[in-house]
Amino acid sequence: MLCLLMVLSACQPRTEAEFFKKAEVYAEKGRFEKAVETYQKYLADFPEGERRDKALFRSGEILYYALGQRAPAVRNFDLLVRKYPASASAFRAREILAGVFRDEVQDYKRAAIEYRCLLEQQPESPKAPGYQLQIARC
């Protein structure tokens, strides 16, 4: 019994990098529920972790695209843009949020806010004219 416990504990990720990698491997193998679960455990176990923004984004992305769980995905993306507004992952999450609020929820005011934030963050982006157009349409 002790040997079994030692073997099982040896398989558990110990470091932040190991935890994150394990979640990525689950996602690559199509084990999406397990990937999200592992990202969430990473977020709980490493409150100051350096990959928190990426974990929020990846779990949101999997929830949204692979599992079709829109509400939890939006919560992840929203938390990401509030806690880590300067990260590249937050920018990508904001792009997704803008589309969700525009197309799925028809909350045009919130969509316009997201597009304005995108435009403010990257005014020279090749996508900037598209953001301006979406603001005008909202």
Alpha helix stretches (DSSP H) within 29-69: 32-45, 52-61
Whole-model pTM?
0.86
% residues pLDDT > 90 (the chain):
88
For 109, other C-beta atoms within 10 Å of its C-beta total 8
Q: How far apart are CA 130 and CA 92, in angstroms?
A: 15
Task: Answer yes or no: is pLDDT of 54 > 90.
Answer: yes
In this structure, are residues 114 and 97 in contact, taking their beta carbons and an 8 Å threshold?
A: yes
For the segment(s) 15-137, the CATH number from 2.60.40.10, 3.40.50.300, 1.10.3720.10, 1.25.40.10 is 1.25.40.10
pLDDT in tens, 16-34: 999 899 999 999 999 999 9
The pLDDT value given to residue 12? 65
**Mean of the per-residue pLDDT values for the chain?**
91
Rounded CA separation 97/24 (Å)? 23
Summarize the chain as % helix, strand, coil (round to 5): 80, 0, 20
Taking only the tens place, the pLDDT of each residue in 57-103 is 999 999 999 999 999 999 999 999 999 999 999 999 999 999 999 99
